Amino acid sequence: MAGPTLINSLARGVQILRLLAAQTGSLGVTEIAERLSVDPSTAYRLLSTLEAHGFVVQDEESKKYGLGYGILEVTSGLLRRLSVVEVSQPHLYTVATKLGESAHVAVRYRQFAVSVGSESAAGVLRVETVLGNPEPLYCTAIGKALLLDFTREQLVELFGEEKFERHTPHTLTTIDELESDLARARRLGYAFDDEELHPGVRCIAAPVHDYTNRIVAAFGISSPAIRLTRDRAQELAPEICRHAQAISARLGFAEGRTVTGP
């Protein structure tokens, strides 16, 4: 079986970043070219591209290159997700044990919510969460919780103008319907999935904020609809919100500050 097709320029760009990350100082174009076994002109073009995106920076005096702050922008997203998983774990266990429902925490990846932590409920009749499995933002409770700081313009930019794919008779299919649902969720403090992705499954989720006051994750539960009635969902929602707020506090969120857009 043939291996994956690689893009040489991209691979060399990654090599440059790793090379600079291993250095205590900076490197010049010639040094980098020699270590990559490429022409200096090729090394210069690669460095110029990386510099344009903030991944490397050139010293004005020595003309040598080092890592730029763009690297922090990328790595901070990973670190934030890792810290969310760590901080959420005891809350996932508590909720699954206390409420008897499967609990999960998810982050946003493009138009999808991706579960990064979960705790299954006891018993035979339960909803299992598959870690890493992408689910649409517009028809899941965790997805909608991740969208609570989006403006209409940002929703249109994210999803476009086309109708959403319908998964069940309850699926929201337009930006207008989603915007209305999100407005309700903001008033209540939590989002609700009323059998919108999977028939027979209902979910509740609340947003998790970090120290920058942005929504970085969503914390919630999934349950068979026969057990998680709409009335019971309202009863359990405050518990979900309390845990989401506790996770946010651990991530440095200061209650009362204005939450900005994504």
* Nearest in space to 16 (alpha carbons), one of 4, 2, 33: 33
**Is the same domain home to 55 and 111?**
no
* Cα–Cα–Cα angle for 259, 179, 213, rounded to 5 degrees: 10
Cα–Cα dist 107/109, whole Å: 7
Provide the CATH number for the domain around residue 23. 1.10.10.10
Residue 123 has pLDDT above 80, yes or no: no
pLDDT score of 260 more than 50 = no
**3 located within any domain:** no
Q: Which residues pair with 113 in a beta bridge?
A: 108, 135
Q: Using the 8-state DSSP alphabet, how is residue 24 labeled?
A: S
Query: What does residue 222 show for φ and ψ, rounded to 5 degrees?
Result: -125, 145
What pLDDT band is residue 3 in, cutting at 50, 70 and 90? low
Length of the chain as a residue count = 262
Domain assignment present for residue 145? The answer is yes
Least confident of 18-27, 71-80, 154-163: 71-80
Is residue 207 assigned to a domain?
Answer: yes
Q: Would you give the end-to-end CA distance of the chain in angstroms?
A: 42
For 107, phi then psi, to 5°, come to -125, 165
The boundaries of the domain holding residue 64 are: 8-68
| 1 located within any domain | no
Residues 18 and 91 in one domain: no
pLDDT at 36 over 80: yes
Specify whether 129 is located in the same domain as 38. Answer: no
State the pLDDT at residue 236: 97
Helix (H) or strand (E) holding 87: helix 70-99
Q: Are residues 157 and 243 in the same domain?
A: yes
Residue of higher predicted confidence among 126 and 163: 163
- Selected residue with higher pLDDT from 8 and 105: 105
One domain for residues 100 and 182: yes
Q: What's the whole-number mean pLDDT along residues 52-69?
A: 91
pLDDT band at 252 (very low <50, low <70, confident <90, very high): confident
Q: Is the pLDDT of residue 75 over 80?
A: no
pTM: 0.70
The predicted-structure confidence for 15-35, as pLDDT tens digits, reads as follows 999 999 888 789 999 999 999
Name which residue leads in pLDDT, 81 or 256.
Answer: 81
The answer to whether the Cα torsion of 148, 149, 152, 155 is positive or negative is negative
pLDDT digits (tens, 9 = 90+) for 160-199: 989 999 999 999 999 999 999 999 999 999 999 999 999 9
Same domain? 38 vs 100: no
In the predicted model, what is the mean pLDDT of residues 37-46? 93
CATH at 208: 3.30.450.40
100 shares its domain with 21 = no
The last residue of one of the domains, among 20, 52, 68, is 68
Question: How far is 152 from 147, CA to CA, in rounded Å?
Answer: 10
Q: Measuring CA to CA, which residue among 238, 235, 233, 161 is closest to residue 201? A: 233
The DSSP bridge pattern shows strands 65-67 and 215-224 to be unpaired
Domain count, the chain: 2
For residues 135 and 238, membership in a common domain is answered with yes
Residues 61, 89 within the same domain:
no
